[in-house]
A and B are shown apart, each in its own frame.
Chain A
Amino acid sequence: MEKDINIIGFLCNWCSYAGADLTGLNRIIYPTNIKIVRIPCTGRMDPVLIMEAFHNGADGVLVSGCHPGDCHYTEGNYYWRRRHAVLKRLLEFLGIDERRFQATWVSASEGKRFAEVVKKVVDDVRSWKKNE
């Protein structure tokens, strides 16, 4: 059997990680392809970490944090938003399909949304893999 796709989710501790916990509390089913790494804030996301993930063979990377304006650390997600914009261009240039690197905002109260985000990312990465 072919190896199933493999996605790393970097979730900030205060919004998205808590949102993913809420998905669990609400028992909303989503695919197992995503493995979650807890980070304090999306502001902590060094682009090198994402490069490292692709370098080591990850099929997809999802980074999710607090909605703009809601950052637990006031402005960490703004830093991430800017780094993301630059990194996206760089990955494109390196030939990494844009479907493989996604960023989103999920708050601690958006359990349902987190499941939807995961499903979308898994679908996107699958469609990329199929055409590879």
Chain B
Amino acid sequence: MSKTGVFICHCGSNIAGVVAVEKVVESAKTLPGVKVAMDYKYMCSDPGQNLIINTIKEQALDRVVVGSCSPRMHENTFRMTIERAGLNPYRLEIANLREHVSWVHSEKASATDKAIKLVELAVAKVRRNEPLQKIYAEIEKRALVIGGGIAGIQAALDIAANGYKVTLVEREPSIGGRMSQLDKTFPTMDCSACILTPKMVAVAQNKDITLLTYAEVEQVHGYVGNFEVNINKKARFVSMTKCIGCGVCTEKCPSKKRLSEFNANIATRKAIYTPFPQAVPNIPVIDKDSCMYFATGKCKVCEKVCPAGAVDYTQEDEIITEKFGAIVVATGYDLYDHSSYGEYGYGEIPDVITGLQLERMINSGGPTGGHIKRPSDGKEPETVVFIQCVGSRDDAKGKPYCSRVCCMYTAKQALLLREHYPNSKAIVFYMDIRAAGKGYEEFIQRVQTEYGVLYLRGRVSRIYEKKDHLLVKGVDTLSGNQVEIKADMVVLATGLKPKKEAQNLAQLLHIGYDQNGFYTELHPKLAPVETQIAGVYLAGCCQSPKDIPDTVAQSSATAAKVGALLSKERLEIEPMISEVNPLLCSGCRMCYNACPYGAIEMEDTEIRRGEIRCVAKVLVSVCKGCGVCVAGCYCKAIDLKGWTDRQLMEQIKVISYC
């Protein structure tokens, strides 16, 4: 017979004000297996916990029921209490008498009856509680960072600074990401490259960081502390060890038709190329699709001119398998493709460009040498119209969210335009100005007053292509007037959207994403960089649109979380997980197919002496304890510790007989 102690808490007057506690105690004393029942004003206080501890010792109790607030509040507190008294911490049940009784029922008699029933329920369950042992797992003290933009770079540097090995995987030939494409950064107007490139070099030189560029994550197995990741290192066709980065191959390459992704398609690049001169690593790649040798079998110019003999056409993709304790996802964003906007010319009017294209033009390292030129005729534009919220805050386009940076980058670009061509005119169509950042509002004001940029509140209804100019028709909703502007160029502030492949990666990692495709954090306020998969963290725009300061702050936060995880000697895992009884298991694989975590393995097991069958086995550190397998098992061979069928059946019987 079990010896259960029942302890009912008054919670001041929170419970006792509605529930007749003494009646609950009296009724509990009559329940089977209950040796002692008592009440106290505040059970979670020091004297309250000591009362429990002393009673366990004096009465030699083996199980405890506490009638108090929600188990979500104090289950852990009381588990530790009974552990201090020498009991297994899992021989505890909580009857939720506050959130589920006294706070939601006003009628005292029926509330007391319900409280009595809930205590009976807990007593019935605790009778079947087994002592459970905490599970421990080893931790691989290395981190993987996916994405080499500013978010990934910052996270990798910070994790390395904490003393852990980091592997940084970037799919492009160079790290740097979107920030490396930018010219200046708002609101301070410091040059993007000047603040980013030192960090890129720091990554390359850090002995704790392994840099894998032109590589992609293909497969992820395992769990927190023990992820096993397959990374595909794509063939560069240039030897990383031999190449000296002289650039002769790029110079001599005869194929130059491919649009340059780095330059937002406003220029072309060669088939063998580095995305930009400050690339890290500064080693070119051959784009197989545009290389003449791979298409026709002739050319080999790069091989002939390379002084180091680094070109190697026989290179193949290489799969690297490595173990990591933590994974940081920092895959960044793509820009909204404005070709779905008919009113802006379906992306077919050459002089309607995107903000990023303008950014590449303003950049002195860009294809136009820092001069803003109309794509149609190369003329310097005099009047430039900026349109905000293209692919942001537009439900009709399936993009209801604000991209957060477009107001600011438009203001920055208008300022740069006015600085570059003092005779030019900049007109901005906006819906609202969102300048919530340090120094942001002041910046917008400066752009309007000092630089004379005209802000019109309203939308553009249509852009007409005329002979040598564009006619922009719109409405100024503040004055209520229709406006027609003769413009030389239109710049669209296209919004941010998750990377095209972001959902695939989410599937690999089992992390969630919202209706817009951005990865979901564990808690929007209190766990902003964690995901629902332990050991997988988020940084930067893959979680939601954000500017550079926020991205860097979030990346450092992520690094702190990774540090906290990797610094542990071993990992503690909740023992309330599934368990297979191999004698009952028929090996039907229902559980194997149902498990959302891949925590079930089918394994040849010796059931009895000489009888070997293929039965299910739970991987203890992978199982999260959801119980999907238990509900699906035909043979009742699998059960969930802490929520066993027997425990739930007992509870059901107690309530149903009311």
Contact = CB atoms under 8 A, between A and B. Distances in A.
A binds B: yes
Interface of A: 3, 6, 8, 13, 17-18, 20-21, 23-25, 27-30, 32, 35-41, 43-49, 52-53, 55-58, 69, 72-76, 79, 83, 115
A95 B80 CA distance: 48
Interface string B615-654: 0000000001111101110000000100101001101110
Nearest to B106: A29
Interface stretch (B38-46, B93-101, B173-181, B316-324): B93-101
A7 to B, nearest CB: 8
Contacts of A39: 627, 643, 648
A37 B655 contact: yes
Interface string B111-140: 101100110010000000000000000000
Given A30-B105, A44-B631, A49-B645, 20 more contacts: A17-B72, A20-B99, A21-B72, A21-B100, A24-B98, A25-B99, A29-B104, A38-B71, A39-B648, A40-B626, A40-B643, A41-B628, A43-B631, A44-B640, A58-B652, A58-B656, A73-B628, A76-B596, A79-B628, A79-B631
Contact of B72 (A6, A18, A29, A69): A18
Contacts of B96: 21, 36
A115 B512 CA distance: 29
A38 B96 CA distance: 10
18 contacts: A6-B658, A20-B99, A21-B72, A24-B103, A32-B110, A35-B118, A39-B627, A40-B625, A40-B627, A43-B627, A44-B631, A46-B630, A53-B656, A56-B657, A72-B626, A73-B597, A76-B596, A79-B631
B205 interface: no
A75 B596 contact: yes
B114 A35 contact: yes
Contacts of A41: 626-628
Contacts of B71: 38
A74 B631 contact: no
Nearest to A3: B658
A8 B103 contact: no
Contacts of B632: 79
B100 A44 contact: no
Nearest to B73: A21
Given A24-B99, A43-B631, A35 B512 contact: no
Contacts of B510: 74
A46 to B, nearest CB: 4
Contacts of A44: 626-628, 630-631, 640, 643
B655 A58 contact: yes
Contacts of A17: 70, 72
Contacts of B113: 32
A28 B658 CA distance: 24
Nearest to B117: A35
Given A44-B643, A75-B596, A83-B631, A37 B651 contact: yes
A44 B320 CA distance: 38
Q: Say whether chain A's binding surface is mostly helix, strand, loop, or mixed.
A: mixed
A61 B645 CA distance: 17
A45 B100 CA distance: 21
Nearest to A23: B104
A57 B107 contact: no
B576 interface: yes
A80 B532 CA distance: 20
A72 B625 CA distance: 11
A101 B649 CA distance: 18
Contacts of B73: 21
Contacts of A69: 512
Nearest to B115: A32
A48 to B, nearest CB: 8
A43 B628 contact: yes
Top 9 closest pairs, chain A to chain B, by CB: A44-B627, A24-B99, A56-B656, A73-B626, A24-B103, A43-B628, A6-B658, A46-B631, A58-B656
A27 B103 contact: yes
A37 B656 CA distance: 12
A123 B197 CA distance: 67
Given A74-B510, A79-B594, A32 B648 contact: no
A4 to B, nearest CB: 8
A69 B596 CA distance: 13
A38 B73 CA distance: 14
Nearest to A37: B651
A48 B73 CA distance: 30
A29 B105 contact: yes
Contact of B658 (A35, A37, A76, A83): A35
A18 B510 CA distance: 24
A125 to B, nearest CB: 13
Contacts of B99: 20-21, 23-25
A115 B651 contact: no
A32 B643 contact: no
Contacts of A8: 652, 655-656
Nearest to B656: A56
Contacts of A13: 72
Contacts of A75: 596, 628
Nearest to A27: B103
Given A20-B99, A28-B104, A56 B652 contact: yes
Contacts of A57: 656-657
Nearest to A38: B71
A36 B624 CA distance: 23
A35 B626 CA distance: 22
B594 A25 contact: no
A20 B100 contact: yes
Given A37-B648, A39-B643, A41-B628, A72 B532 contact: yes
B628 A76 contact: yes
A75 B511 CA distance: 11
A35 B627 contact: no
A76 B315 CA distance: 44
A55 to B, nearest CB: 8
B353 to A, nearest CB: 37
Contacts of A48: 645
Interface in B74-110: 96, 98-101, 103-107, 110
Contacts of A21: 70, 72-73, 96, 99-100
A49 B631 CA distance: 9
Contacts of B625: 40
A49 B117 CA distance: 19
A40 B652 contact: no
Name, among A69, A73, A83, A115, the residue most crowded by chain B CB atoms within 10 Å (CB to CB): A73
Given A37-B121, A56-B652, A32 B626 contact: no
Nearest to A52: B652
Contacts of B70: 17, 21, 24
A29 to B, nearest CB: 6
A52 B104 contact: no
